[in-house]
Amino acid sequence: MGRLTIGMAHFFERLLAYRADVYLLTFLTVLSVQPRLFRFDPQVILIATCFSSLMAFVYLFNKTTDLNEDAVNTAGGPIAATSIESVRILAWLCAIVPAVVLWILTMNIALLLMYLTVGVMGYFYSKPLPFLSASIRLKQLLGGKTFTSTC
């Protein structure tokens, strides 16, 4: 096998190792909003794929910021210290590439704004909110975890 093939296999192995069930559930949820469920409109499949990838960003990025918590509760297994940066890069690719594809193929500003809003919420789920003096993440606020998960 070539290096590119091995690299892509490693990429997808990493991606699926962290909550593949959530990506699938997101994909199916977006597909379910079609007027006729089994019609398979290519644009809806594109949107479902992009939002599933965004959920991968949220989960992967959170894994790179929750090293202490995951070491205790081993939710999905902690990330090895040597692979934190590669998982973080993978997370950002899961957010940025679909956003660009979504914009180029749909040119729908409302859809892109919804995508970006969910992405920003996912980011601040794991990173401190910049407008608060304390180092507080969205998931630490009362109802923050539930609100973020619902969106």
pTM exceeds 0.95 for this model: no
Q: What is the pLDDT of residues 26-36, one digit of tens each?
A: 777 777 776 66
Q: What is the pLDDT of residues 70-129, one digit of tens each?
A: 555 555 555 666 578 888 898 999 999 999 999 999 999 999 999 999 999 888 888 877
Distances (CA, A) of 14 to 2, 10, 18, 83: 19, 6, 7, 10
pLDDT at 5 over 90: no
d(CA 57, CA 76): 15
Tokens of 32: 């379910």
Q: Which amino acid is at 4?
A: L
Q: What is the pLDDT of residues 15-53, one digit of tens each?
A: 666 666 777 777 777 777 766 656 678 888 888 889 999
List 128's β-bridge partners, or say none: 137
The residue assigned the tokens 């679909």 is 98
